[in-house]
Structure 1
């Protein structure tokens, strides 16, 4: 199975102005400089799909992308889902009132969006134990419904020494280990997503 089409659908501030919940959604969330936009572009093989910013925390909207998957099944040649790029947490230099509103909208999306099936929590492989990531992981496990899964994806593995990477893999046996630079781990991540959404 491969992604044949990926296109920007719309941005939203929260659930109220989000698209109709008629597609399974995969939410990508992580700290502001974890490499989320780069990962989405590499995963979908579309260079400018998700806009990365040199200013951490600049993305304050929920961005929706329509994704088409080509299958090997002649009777069902295409399957569809949405990837959802969520605002990065931490680092954002915005007014406290704006940040409070933004956090409220984000929390409501994560807790209440019925078509949300997968949380992809991106973690910088060089700093896997930061409090902010522990808190996010704890929060996701608290709100996760029975029909949802959490995928922990560790980015920037090209910056690790081999023995540090081996240690990380031992500590997180279910993790996905990614390098945007070397395009490593993308197939693993896609297979985990499609395996859960479509059963293959």
Structure 2
């Protein structure tokens, strides 16, 4: 059984030069604005206000680092969760958007510490072209020591037929609800297994 012993905010960075030192294994959360990145980080860490969510899509403009300490059978494991700026929606100038995009791309491609990419998809819109493009992009740049986990959020909003459709098209899909906590333990187990190679 994996338990979260502690989780805390480390820092925000607007560019690669401001990020935390390389070394600790990282889980990078990427997804469209309003997909629920902050909510899923809060649910996984069991800390309600750890990652700040906003009602304004696209408001997260920084790369936010959180450290998490996990316990399995009395042994502690350390990792870093990284909340990346959402893509789409943001009402900003083209030049600013281009700058965000460059910083985001730099981090995704150059950051050595990333072990897991968690691609979050809104389960109510599982087949959007932008999500397919992001998954293809990640698949093209992923290193042998990295893994992509596709996690579908907002499970509580779905009917059973919609859940079945997602599972049919994405057999390895992990479906979660931040509000009901359904699927959160499974998602945490999958992340832990990928990072540390041990099952709960």
Q: TM-score range by the shorter chain?
A: over 0.9
Match of 2:149 among 141, 148, 151: 151
Secondary structure of the residue aligned to 1:147 is coil
Q: Within 1, Cα distance between the matches of 2:161 and 2:127?
A: 17
Unaligned runs of 5+ in 2: none
Task: Map 1:68-147 to 2 at 5 A.
Answer: 68-73=69-74, 77-147=75-145
Q: Within 2, Cα distance between the matches of 1:78 and 1:21?
A: 20
Q: Please, what is the CA RMSD of the aligned residues?
A: 0.9
Q: Within 1, Cα distance between the matches of 2:130 and 2:165?
A: 21
Please state how far the C-alpha of 1:170 moved relative to its aligned partner. Answer: 1.7
What are the Cα deviations for residues 100-121 of structure 1, in whole angstroms up to 9, with x where unaligned?
0110000010001001010000
Q: Within 2, Cα distance between the matches of 1:193 and 1:176?
A: 11
Q: Would you identify which runs of 4 or more consecutive aligned residues in structure 1 move more than 3 Å?
A: none
Please state how far the C-alpha of 1:167 moved relative to its aligned partner. Answer: 1.8
2:32 equivalent in structure 1: 31
Secondary structure of the residue aligned to 1:41 is helix
1:20 equivalent in structure 2: 21
Unaligned runs of 5+ in 1: none
Secondary structure of the residue aligned to 2:79 is strand
Q: Within 1, Cα distance between the matches of 2:15 and 2:132?
A: 24
Please state how far the C-alpha of 1:2 moved relative to its aligned partner. Answer: 1.3
2:167 equivalent in structure 1: 169
1:44 equivalent in structure 2: 45
Please state how far the C-alpha of 1:139 moved relative to its aligned partner. Answer: 0.6
Q: Within 2, Cα distance between the matches of 1:96 and 1:26?
A: 28
Structure 1 residue 191 corresponds to structure 2 residue 192: no
Give the alignment's TM-score, normalised by structure 2: 0.96
Q: Within 2, Cα distance between the matches of 1:100 and 1:40?
A: 26
Please state how far the C-alpha of 1:14 moved relative to its aligned partner. Answer: 2.0
Secondary structure of the residue aligned to 1:169 is helix
Q: Within 2, Cα distance between the matches of 1:164 and 1:95?
A: 37
Please state how far the C-alpha of 1:61 moved relative to its aligned partner. Answer: 0.3
Please state how far the C-alpha of 1:163 moved relative to its aligned partner. Answer: 1.4
Q: Within 2, Cα distance between the matches of 1:198 and 1:153?
A: 19
